[in-house]
Amino acid sequence: MSRRSIATRTGDDGTTALLYGQRVPKTHPQIEAVGALDELNAALGLAKTHHPDAAVRDQLTRLQQDLINLMGEVACAEADATRYAGSKFPKLADADLTRLDTAVAAIEAREVSFAGWATPGANHAAATLDVARTVARRAERRLIGLQAHGRQLRPLLTAYINRLADLLWLLAREAESRT
**17: in domain:** no
The pLDDT score that the predictor gives to residue 1 is 63
φ and ψ at 16, to 5 degrees? -145, 170
Q: What percent of the chain has pLDDT over 90?
A: 76
Residue 12 has pLDDT above 80, yes or no: no
Question: pLDDT, tens digit, for every residue of 131-146?
Answer: 999 999 999 999 999 9
Q: What is the pLDDT of residues 82-124, one digit of tens each?
A: 999 999 999 999 999 999 999 999 999 998 888 777 787 879 9
Q: What's the CA gap between 37 and 135, in Å, rounded? A: 8
In a domain, 10, yes or no: no
Whether residue 2 lies inside any domain: the answer is no
CB neighbour list of residue 156: distance below 8 Å, 6 or more residues apart: 92, 93, 94, 97
DSSP letter for each residue of 39-95:
HHHHHHHHHHHH---HHHHHHHHHHHHHHHHHHHHHTS-GGGHHHHHTSSS----HH
Is residue 127 in a domain? Answer: yes
pLDDT surpasses 80 at 156:
yes
* Mean local confidence (pLDDT), 8-35: 85
Sign of the alpha-carbon dihedral angle for 20, 25, 29, 33: positive
| Mean of the per-residue pLDDT values of the chain | 92
Q: Is residue 32 part of a domain?
A: yes
Contact 96, 161 (CB under 8 A): no
State the pLDDT at residue 6: 76
- As for how many domains the chain has, the answer is 1
Q: Would the pLDDT of 13 be above 80?
A: no
The Cα 112–Cα 4 span in angstroms is 50
CATH number, domain with residue 121:
1.20.1200.10
Provide the strand spans (E) within 87-163.
none
**pLDDT at 127 (0 to 100):** 96
| Arithmetic mean of pLDDT, 12-36 | 88
In a domain, 69, yes or no: yes
pLDDT at 63 exceeding the cut of 70 = yes
User: Given pLDDT bands bounded at 50, 70 and 90, which one contains residue 10?
Assistant: low
In a domain, 45, yes or no: yes
Question: Considering the domain boundaries, does residue 19 fall inside one?
Answer: no
- Domain region containing 81: 27-176
